[in-house]
A and B are shown apart, each in its own frame.
Chain A
């Protein structure tokens, strides 16, 4: 398996664990962590193409703060915000801080993969484009 270039950050353990298992089953090189601080540590160590970030994480850094830090460290990172919270203000703030898009929980894996593919495509490198193609191929046809 390649060096993981996708990072999933969510404080909901069950959610993170299952999502990681499903990504792994599809051979998607992803890494998971459960806090903003941890995520920043990982990003400092090595870059990620796409970060899936939960906005609301009680205790510790919240998603928006983490997003701003990520953009400071590695501005090229595409961040997909994930939220069970639905206030327009938070979404707008996230987009203004440089997030690629935001998705509402609960979410089907297929939708998330689609969004990841789009983000990878936008990253632009040949490797990312190839990975994007592969992700799309996993989606049900039609």
Chain B
């Protein structure tokens, strides 16, 4: 049996099955995850995009409100009224009551000189002509400045409106509370790492960001990357991989509102989904491996058993074929030998006849001649016996059909041999099934077979040993076994023991026909005869006979 072939086959089947099952599973898992991840990232981008836009709207609204109320105050008062610090103070109070977040309020004439001021700083009389915002408001009418330190040396920004009054321009300027403004922007900071801040065209921070940098310092965000519409930019471009930046230019000021979000943080949910998916796939793979290995093992085991059975059947078939052919040949050979033997026997008879005559009796070699003739006749007789045994088998073509009791035949046979066995210190034990059914066959022939087997067992043991004879009913079959504890039969001889003329006994002691005849007798009865032997452990011959009910009388 080529065990190697089967283990290779088993490995092949397992690998193939696993390959075919795993490939689509892993492919499906991978593709699904990628698609899902892509969708998720897209969703995160959309969210951050939306956050930037809505935050920009809120900031725009804040600034538009402040600008509008500042404009309204300027429009409803003359320079003379506003230059009065009491009026100015009450205006600031109204503005803070209506909108809030105004820190101070100042009135500046067209030369940049602050005519009146209310607020916490002492800025009265300061000249703003050289300040960049002053030029802007004078030319454009309304201006929201970048954050700067100014005279007060604190980061702040201002909203300024210009009023034209009888060929004279004056400017109403208010400072916005950087704290309050900063909070509105910072409301866009979502999650543990999300950030929201403003930068101007040069990338200078206009509000305090959560990470990386301080107000009025350059930010890593490059405003040139962001177009007119709200845009989402990968942090990789800004030296911050894994972070998304969404930027929206404000409508009311030259500021870019930036909202950033850590993709990793937002993807935590996706990662837990991935862990779950991986766990399910791994569990599935384990189940597949287990099932495949078990199924394949069972399958290959069955194949091995089937092949073993097939081989056994083949061996039996070959054995039967061989023995049938040998039987035919032996019968033919027997006949061809008988004719020359007949001639030899007549010739020796004639020689014996002649030796009876007077003159030969006196010959000095008379005794030698007579002995030689007798020896020839003795050996012709030996040859004749062998041939007759074989022809005897041929004559047994049609065994008798009678009801036979296997147990009784065994008992009779044991009786016949018991004395002989005892003389050789051999114990014959029988274990007979009392429920054994009767069958049909030739009892004398079956007895001959059992006699032959027990005789062989005695010869095999020689001295001191045990022979165990068992009979049992196995389904619709009767099983008879004859086991000895003799030396056993070497494996290479086991296939030959049923061959005609095969014998291990010394020349003249056995013809080698006994087992062959036994085999053919059992075969003709529709049974089987097998042997099991292990050198050193003895030999067991097993006869299986079908239970054939006796024909009705």
Residues of A at the B interface (CB closer than 8 Å) are 12, 14-15, 18-19, 21-22, 25, 56, 84-88, 104-109
Contact = CB atoms under 8 A, between A and B. Distances in A.
A106 B347 contact: no
Contact of B346 (A18, A56, A86, A87): A18
B322 to A, nearest CB: 22
B391 A104 contact: yes
A14 B342 CA distance: 10
Given A86-B331, A88-B398, A108 B338 contact: no
A21 B347 CA distance: 10
B331 to A, nearest CB: 7
Contacts of A21: 350
Contacts of B16: none
Sorted nearest first, the 7 A-B pairs with minimum C-beta distance are A84-B338, A86-B391, A105-B342, A106-B342, A106-B341, A18-B346, A106-B345
Given A86-B335, A106-B342, A106-B380, A14 B349 contact: no
B349 A108 contact: yes
Contact of A25 (B335, B346, B353, B391): B353
A25 B355 CA distance: 13
Contact of A18 (B335, B349, B395, B398): B349
A35 B395 CA distance: 27
B139 interface: no
Indicate the member of A15, A105, A109 with the most B CB atoms within 10 Å. A105
B182 to A, nearest CB: 126
Contact of B339 (A12, A19, A22, A25): A12
A22 B380 CA distance: 19
A15 B346 contact: yes
Given A86-B331, A88-B397, A104 B349 contact: no
B344 to A, nearest CB: 7
A106 B339 CA distance: 7
A52 to B, nearest CB: 12
Contact of B394 (A12, A87, A109): A87
A130 to B, nearest CB: 23
B350 A18 contact: yes
Interface residues of chain B: helix, strand, loop or mixed (majority): helix
A106 B350 CA distance: 14
Contacts of B384: 106
Contacts, number: 67
A15 B344 CA distance: 8
B335 A84 contact: yes
Given A84-B339, A86-B334, A22 B350 contact: yes
Interface of B: 331, 334-336, 338-339, 341-347, 349-350, 353, 380, 384, 388, 391, 394-395, 397-398
A15 B397 contact: no
A14 B388 contact: no
A105 B341 contact: yes
A89 to B, nearest CB: 8
Nearest to A15: B343
B397 A18 contact: no
B397 to A, nearest CB: 6
A14 B345 contact: no
A108 B391 contact: no
Indicate the member of A12, A15, A56 with the most B CB atoms within 10 Å. A15
B264 to A, nearest CB: 100
Contacts of A12: 339, 342-343
B353 A19 contact: no
Contacts of B397: 87-88
Given A22-B353, A104-B391, A14 B338 contact: no
A87 B398 CA distance: 11
Indicate the member of B331, B335, B341, B398 with the most A CB atoms within 10 Å. B335
A108 B347 CA distance: 11
Contact of B345 (A25, A87, A88, A108): A108
A109 B377 CA distance: 12
A9 to B, nearest CB: 14
A18 B338 contact: no
B520 to A, nearest CB: 15
A72 to B, nearest CB: 28
Contact of A88 (B334, B344, B350, B395): B395
Contact of B335 (A14, A19, A85, A108): A85
Contacts of A84: 335-336, 338-339, 342
A87 B349 CA distance: 27
Contacts of A104: 338, 388, 391
B347 A105 contact: no
B347 A86 contact: no
18 contacts: A14-B343, A15-B342, A15-B346, A18-B346, A19-B346, A84-B336, A85-B335, A85-B338, A86-B388, A86-B394, A104-B388, A105-B338, A105-B341, A106-B338, A106-B384, A108-B345, A108-B349, A109-B346
A12 B340 CA distance: 9
B267 to A, nearest CB: 97
Contacts of A15: 339, 342-343, 346
Contacts of B380: 106
B344 A106 contact: yes
A25 to B, nearest CB: 5
B247 to A, nearest CB: 115
Contacts of A106: 338, 341-345, 380, 384
B524 to A, nearest CB: 14
Contacts of A18: 343, 346-347, 349-350
A82 to B, nearest CB: 8
A56 B342 CA distance: 14
B347 A14 contact: yes
A22 B338 contact: no
A135 to B, nearest CB: 16
